[in-house]
Amino acid sequence: MTTIGTKLAAVAFVLLTAAPAFAGKGGSNLLITQAVQSGSTDAIIAEVEKTESLICNECIQTVTNLTEDNRYAVREVAAWWFAKRPQLQEAMAAGFQSDLTSSDSIRVRNAADFLGTTKTYTSLPALRTAIHHAGLTSEAKLALVHAVGRMAHVSGNEVLTTAMTDGDPAVRAAAIVAWRDVLSQQGAAPVVALLHDANAEVRMKAATTVGGMNEVNAHTTLEAMVVSDVDSTVRRAAAWALGQLGQADSRQALITASSDKSGLVSGVAKASLSLLH
């Protein structure tokens, strides 16, 4: 993205020269610059937000630079600023979609964060391709997953199913969460395999998702989990999920779980028993 600021300056000149400048809530490019120099994330966010309605050519390069900041919160507010300016956002999105073809994890991360925050749905094909790039860092893959989650469109499912097989449990867990947030999602079949994951956090999120999305085919695995998983948070999630599925065959497993040494597990198991058909 080293040249996009220059390109945007030309675009902005066309868009804005005919419009009078006006301030938004007291903001200015100078104040954003001072906030950047201070190093304070909160100050940067506050000053960028103040310029929500500011028409100002000089702000464009300043905020463009923030889309490449190492802090997610700063990149997010920069993307939000461009989302308030659709024509500039479109120009930025084109550059960032190109960056998704890069093998550079930082560029992919920044691109995914911008495109996800601005909900640039036309970038979904590029996001699907990017998740298969070899050598991406976990941070970059998490950004791709989060972008798809924010757009919540089924066209991003390939990103999520690929991420569910990643070697980093944080990526797998994030993919599960994003899966259940996608609108018009048809079941949670791809998540069922993660009920056997080696990581407890992943198993817990998987149990919550298959229960919440009524993936009935998972009930046998959940019945084993609720009585034998070594992690109490996983057993609790399994107990809750079984209640949501409501299968009569799960009664014995929930009765056993009602005597779990963890009060949270036993309490949820007892509540779930009342929900069985």
Q: What is the CATH number of the domain that holds 239?
A: 1.25.10.10
Q: What is the pLDDT of residues 155-183, one digit of tens each?
A: 999 999 999 999 999 999 999 999 999 99
Assess whether pLDDT exceeds 90 at residue 6: no
Look at residue 245 and tell me if it is in a domain.
yes
Residue of 275, 259, 232 lying closest to 267 (CA atoms) = 259
- Structural tokens at position 237: 């999630």
On whether residue 222 sits in a domain, the answer given is: yes
Look at residue 18 in the predicted model and tell me its pLDDT: 40
Q: Is residue 243 part of a domain?
A: yes
Q: Are 48 and 32 in contact (CB under 8 A)?
A: yes
Residue 267's alpha-carbon distances to 219, 257, 262, 272, 273, in angstroms, are 19, 9, 9, 9, 10
DSSP code, position 230 = S
**Span 22-51, pLDDT tens digits:** 444 678 999 999 999 999 999 999 999 999
- The answer for residues whose C-beta is within 8 angstroms of residue 124's C-beta and 6 or more apart is 148, 151, 153, 155, 156
Tell me whether residue 27 is in a domain: no
Is 90 within the bounds of a domain? no
Asked whether residue 9 carries a pLDDT value surpassing 90, the answer given is no
Question: Does 58 fall in a domain?
Answer: no
- Whether 205 has a pLDDT exceeding 50, the answer reads yes
Average pLDDT, the chain: 92
User: Which residue type occupies 166?
Assistant: D
- The number of helix segments (H) and strand segments (E) in the chain equals 17, 0
24 DSSP assignment: S
Q: Which domain holds residue 260?
A: 187-277
Whether 4 has a pLDDT exceeding 60, the answer reads no
pLDDT tens digits for 53-65?
A: 888 888 999 999 9
Domain-embedded: residue 240: yes
pLDDT digits (tens, 9 = 90+) for 241-268: 999 999 999 999 999 999 999 999 999 9
Residue at 216 is within a domain: yes
H helices of the chain, where?
4-16, 29-38, 41-50, 57-66, 72-83, 86-99, 105-117, 124-130, 138-151, 157-163, 169-181, 189-192, 200-212, 219-228, 232-245, 251-257, 263-273
Q: Which residue has the tokens 């919160």?
A: 73
Residue 31's nearest CA partner among 56, 67, 5 is 56
Distance CA(15)–CA(231), nearest Å, equals 57
Number of domains in the chain: 1
The whole-number pLDDT of residue 243 equals 97
Phi then psi for residue 102, to 5 deg, are -75, 155
